[in-house]
């Protein structure tokens, strides 16, 4: 009998959106439900890995046997990811991290006044790029790319620019896949390769992605 494919591996997964607070009642968020990242964490555990899941604000149960760290803002997600980094074999960044956050979070509820309102937003740290450049960089750094056009061009640009080993791209403009639902389709790119995972349940897509990850880790040995 062969051991499970990810036995002895340690995987760190991020999932869900981040919420960037404007004031005590309002925030900037996005449509990520966390389902894709949670499916990756669950499947990795089933394949024998030791899994840590850093989750943004989502209402999903923790997959059995997975260590979960809950966060809200991008800055908190970065802290949680970087502190869990030492000893990981792979990082899978499935979270939809806000690219911009309000320059300040107001301590009191913002009152209605003029006809328009301008918010000043500042760039958030790029967690994935920071992981890829970190002294405790896992051997395999896997990003996701949520695109609405030119999937391969944008995904390969992120692969290169952020210093990744693999990128899993989804076309979030197509109905029935990407954000929120139970199904997805991914095109996985690496420096000299590509594999397409056809539309299906996120649970199956997660297992197929992890088989590619297992293969890449084995190829490094
Ligand atoms: O959660 P679900 O509802 O199941 O939806 C799944 C999903 C569509 C959210 C998921 O499959 C997905 O595509 N996740 C990545 C979404 C995203 O933020 O893509 P991006 O192209 O904006 O970012 C590229 C990569 O950089 C991602 O791995 C992201 O985690 C990472 N990133 C981005 C910005 C930032 N400040 N820090 C990051 O680490």
Q: Compute, in angstroms, the gap from residue 49 CA to the centroid of ligand 1.
A: 22
The token pair that represents 166 in the structure block: 């693999």
Residue 4 lies in a domain: no
Does 99 contact ligand 1 (Cβ within 6 A)? Answer: yes
Give the active site residue among 30, 62, 67, 76.
30
Residue 112 lies in a domain: no
Cα 84-128-172 angle, rounded to 5 deg: 120
User: pLDDT tens for residues 147-158?
Assistant: 999 999 999 999
CATH number of 156's domain: 3.40.50.10300
| pLDDT given at position 188 | 98
Residue 135 structural domain? 10-98+119-219
- Any long-range contacts for 213-216 (C-beta under 8 Å, 24+ apart)? 213/6, 213/11, 213/90, 213/92, 213/140, 213/142, 213/166, 214/5, 214/6, 214/9, 214/47, 216/140, 216/165, 216/166, 216/190
The DSSP 8-state label assigned to residue 125 in this structure reads P
| pLDDT given at position 42 | 98
Atom of ligand 1 nearest to the CA of 143: 28
Write down the residue that tokens 């693999």 correspond to.
166
User: pLDDT tens for residues 72-124?
Assistant: 999 999 999 999 999 999 999 999 999 999 999 999 999 999 999 999 999 99
For 35-139, strand residue ranges (E) read 50-55, 67-70, 90-93, 100-102, 121-123
* Burial profile 164-182: b = 16 or more Cβ within 10 angstroms, e = fewer: bbbbbbbbbeeeebbbeee
In the chain, the number of structural domains is: 1
The question of whether 30 is a catalytic residue gets the answer yes
Residue 149 lies in a domain: yes
Which residues contribute to the annotated binding site for CTP?
99, 109, 125-128, 144, 158, 162
Average pLDDT, the chain: 97
Does 124 contact ligand 1 (Cβ within 6 A)? Answer: yes
Residue 193 lies in a domain: yes
ipTM comes to 0.99
pLDDT tops 90 at residue 160: yes
List, in sequence order, every residue forming a beta bridge with 171; answer none if it has no partner. Answer: 147
Label residue 217 by pLDDT band (50, 70, 90): very high
Atom of ligand 1 nearest to the CA of 99: 36
* Burial profile 92-131: b = 16 or more Cβ within 10 angstroms, e = fewer: bbbbbbbeebbeeeeeeeeeeeeeeeeeeeeebebbbbeb
User: pLDDT tens for residues 167-184?
Assistant: 999 999 999 999 999 999
Residue 5 lies in a domain: no
The token pair that represents 131 in the structure block: 């992981």
Q: Compute, in angstroms, the gap from residue 207 CA to the centroid of ligand 1.
A: 18
Label residue 209 by pLDDT band (50, 70, 90): very high
User: pLDDT tens for residues 31-57?
Assistant: 999 999 999 999 999 999 999 999 999
| pLDDT given at position 2 | 82
CA 88 to chain centre: 16
Q: Whose CA is nearest to atom 36 of ligand 1?
A: 126
Taking only Cα atoms into account, the Rg of the chain, rounded to an integer number of angstroms, comes to: 18
Distances (CA, A) of 80 to 45, 72, 178: 20, 11, 25
Q: Whose CA is nearest to atom 37 of ligand 1?
A: 126
Burial class (CB within 10 angstroms; exposed 0-12, middle 13-18, buried 19+) of 204: middle
Residue 110 lies in a domain: no
């Amino acid at each position: 009998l062969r051991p499970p494919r990810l036995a002895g591996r340690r995987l760190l997964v991020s999932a869900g959106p981040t919420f960037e607070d404007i004031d005590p009642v309002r925030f900037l968020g996005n449509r990520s439900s966390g389902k894709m990242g949670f499916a990756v964490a669950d499947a990795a555990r089933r394949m024998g890995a030791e899994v840590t899941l850093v989750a943004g604000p989502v209402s999903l149960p923790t997959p059995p046997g997975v260590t979960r760290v809950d966060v809200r803002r991008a800055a908190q997600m970065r802290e949680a990811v970087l502190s869990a980094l030492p000893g990981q074999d792979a990082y899978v960044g499935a979270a939809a991290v806000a690219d911009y956050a309000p320059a300040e979070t107001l301590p009191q509820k913002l009152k209605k006044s003029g006809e328009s309102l301008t918010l000043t937003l500042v760039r958030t740290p790029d967690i994935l790029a920071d992981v890829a450049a970190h002294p405790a960089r896992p051997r395999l750094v896997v990003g996701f790319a949520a695109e609405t056009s030119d999937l391969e061009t944008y995904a390969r640009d992120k692969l290169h620019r952020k210093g990744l080993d693999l990128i899993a791209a989804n076309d979030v403009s197509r109905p029935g896949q990407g954000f929120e639902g139970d199904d997805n389709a991914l095109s996985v790119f690496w420096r000299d390769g590509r594999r397409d995972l056809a539309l299906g349940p996120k649970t199956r897509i997660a297992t197929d992605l992890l088989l590619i990850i297992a293969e890449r880790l084995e190829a490094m040995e």
